[in-house]
Structure 1
């Protein structure tokens, strides 16, 4: 069991590192490819766009395939496309390779969550899920700063390192994972659209996913140009930006660790409401903080709060219907990456056209306030939440 747990942790660690790697490197890559600030964010957005679009079909589609094969193919594609990023000779080739990496990640990550119940004993599934999620948090705490430090040698080194490490993980997965074939019953062979019908027709699900979109739009817009802003405001070189990013990752790790405790003590709705109110205030005031130390502390609190909120919100969404949790997880992943894609575009527009990072802070605060209102008025976090009927899931 431990070998599977370690494998899933490191796969999510690599995907998480690659997802967030561009943000602290953005000033370096902008100079390398000679692009304006307004479009530089698309080097981040191309990855999340590919992941967002293909996650919509990757999860439901792979339900009918051997999950081991899908995971291996996705991980191989992720490895190769990430290595190619290190050979990019222009802004557009970098965007292309980032797009391919995002598409590959869309086929890889859902297989981790779907494979855990198939290869892990029932009594250890929750623990393994938590360890795999910790891989994403550890990526920000350690992977992104390490990538930033490697980039001080040359901007391509982090891409080559992640790609080669992922290639080795694919080899390990090939030898460790058994075949995980789908149920062959005819009634389980639903169409891709059929798996989404219960979510489309549920008002609670629509409210929940719209609120989830706003939550990630606010946080993603703020994060996309964090490295650029710290470079412009405080003159930080890429290595020191990576050090600040390390505190962000530790914040998420801390928050995800105490999330269950906060939910028990405060209740799900109260924990999320208190967290979002705090985030709204911090996003609004952070661009005006006078020192790098104050900014670092604010980011630590922000990401610790996000670490508390995200598991609670995901738990509320996946509890809408246990029979389509895979599809719900895929849609949540697509929503997150779609929001981050929009966030990268909005961040560039706001930074250049509307007063720099201050306008980004206001935008993020508004998104968080609207997200909280949608969650509460939609009833997603209520004690007696509406459930999507299993019968409708078989449509």
Structure 2
């Protein structure tokens, strides 16, 4: 493997861990900052929303710059945001720090993919991209549960650890990667695919899929408190099972897309997710049930990412780089929406009932997917980007 990919994968690992690890630490964060679990969940929401909104704009503003310098600047902001979060003594400061962290992630993360594509030989581009995006998958398998375990002593240690990972990734990028440039793309060109109904429908589905899952996942530490007895070690076991499931689901999705087609696989996974979300009140009281449940939930959830990317690449090959970026924004936008809806729903439902709220969102996603399957296949738009 090209060693230049290692710091890019490390960057993706650090950002992926940071994006989701706080979900396992919400009770500790809430107790330390003297806020409710619902309020603590908004730390995830503001990070994800900042990423979703900022990534296209930052990508435009920095498109004419050396990509190596851009990713190093983004990682510096990312590290600074985590350091401030780690030392924050108030909820307001922690929120501001998570916005800063989201801005850094929105700057650095897309550049990692762009650099991998730029340095790859044409015949190996897919493998180069897979190594970098694999950092996100590894984050779900190892980063999130290990971060939760470290946070058992003090949740702030987890943020210090993530900041350290960002520093290591930056050092590797500075040492191993050459300067890299790419043609500038205007913001209007980046957003042009949103005028196409099919592209907009696919992106909306991504947002709904993630919103459904993260209505539950954002508050998973609190939801599983009875099953784990409040033990961070046991919660780590459950999160690790979810990460292994995610890895398996991601691997299976590639094969199943070829056999079933992306729409059929996506619809089947959405239906399965809805059923699992409806069943969550029955699955979160016993550790013996919660572990396999989390593994299956992780597998089904990650199984939906690959067909979404496949749909974009197949239908809009002339705009694939822009649409993959917009799909990432839709992904983080869905995470933000799920965290917000889950936090708001806690005013009316117990934390163990959040799966039912997520199921309603998942049903909306099924409606969108089914409507798109029934619609006539579009003719790809002219190269607007």
Compute the displacement of 1:200 (Å).
2.6
Q: Is residue 272 of structure 1 aligned with residue 292 of structure 2?
A: no
Distance in 2 separating the partners of 1:380 and 1:178? 47
Structure 1 moving runs of 4+ over 6 Å = none
For the Cα contact (< 8 Å) 2:207–2:335, is it kept in 1? Answer: no
Taking a change above 3 Å as real, the CA distance of residues 340 and 99 of structure 1, as seen in their structure-2 partners, is same
**RMSD in angstroms over aligned alpha carbons?**
2.0
Q: Which residue of 1 aligns with 2:305?
A: 310
Taking a change above 3 Å as real, the CA distance of residues 147 and 136 of structure 1, as seen in their structure-2 partners, is same
Q: Which residue of 2 aligns with 1:299?
A: 294
Distance in 2 separating the partners of 1:101 and 1:138? 20
Q: Which residue of 1 aligns with 2:156?
A: 156
Q: Which residue of 2 aligns with 1:376?
A: 370
Of residues 340, 357, 361, the one that matches 1:367 is 361
Compute the displacement of 1:381 (Å).
10
Compute the displacement of 1:274 (Å).
1.5
Structure 2 unaligned residues grouped into runs of 5+: none
Q: Which residue of 1 aligns with 2:78?
A: 78
For the Cα contact (< 8 Å) 2:13–2:135, is it kept in 1? Answer: yes
Q: Which residue of 2 aligns with 1:131?
A: 131
SS at 1:65 equivalent: coil
Distance in 1 separating the partners of 2:331 and 2:172? 29
Q: Which residue of 1 aligns with 2:107?
A: 107
- Cα deviation per residue 1:242-272 (whole Å; 9 max; x = unaligned)? 2211111111111111211111222222211
For the Cα contact (< 8 Å) 1:282–1:302, is it kept in 2? Answer: yes
Q: Is residue 119 of structure 1 aligned with residue 119 of structure 2?
A: yes
Q: Is residue 330 of structure 1 aligned with residue 337 of structure 2?
A: no
Compute the displacement of 1:235 (Å).
2.4
- Cα deviation per residue 1:141-177 (whole Å; 9 max; x = unaligned)? 1111111121223221111111122112211101211
Q: Which residue of 2 aligns with 1:352?
A: 347
Matches within 5 A, 1:1-395: 2-183=2-183, 189-197=184-192, 199-232=193-226, 234-289=228-283, 290-358=285-353, 360-379=354-373, 384-390=377-383, 392-393=384-385
Compute the displacement of 1:204 (Å).
0.8
Distance in 1 separating the partners of 2:62 and 2:106? 11
- Cα deviation per residue 1:271-303 (whole Å; 9 max; x = unaligned)? 112111111111101222352221221221111
For the Cα contact (< 8 Å) 2:49–2:333, is it kept in 1? Answer: yes
Distance in 2 separating the partners of 1:220 and 1:28? 19
SS at 2:4 equivalent: helix
Distance in 1 separating the partners of 2:305 and 2:163? 28
Compute the displacement of 1:327 (Å).
2.2
Taking a change above 3 Å as real, the CA distance of residues 323 and 134 of structure 1, as seen in their structure-2 partners, is same
TM-score by length of 2: 0.94
For the Cα contact (< 8 Å) 1:204–1:386, is it kept in 2? Answer: no
For the Cα contact (< 8 Å) 1:62–1:70, is it kept in 2? Answer: yes
Taking a change above 3 Å as real, the CA distance of residues 128 and 381 of structure 1, as seen in their structure-2 partners, is farther
TM-score by length of 1: 0.92
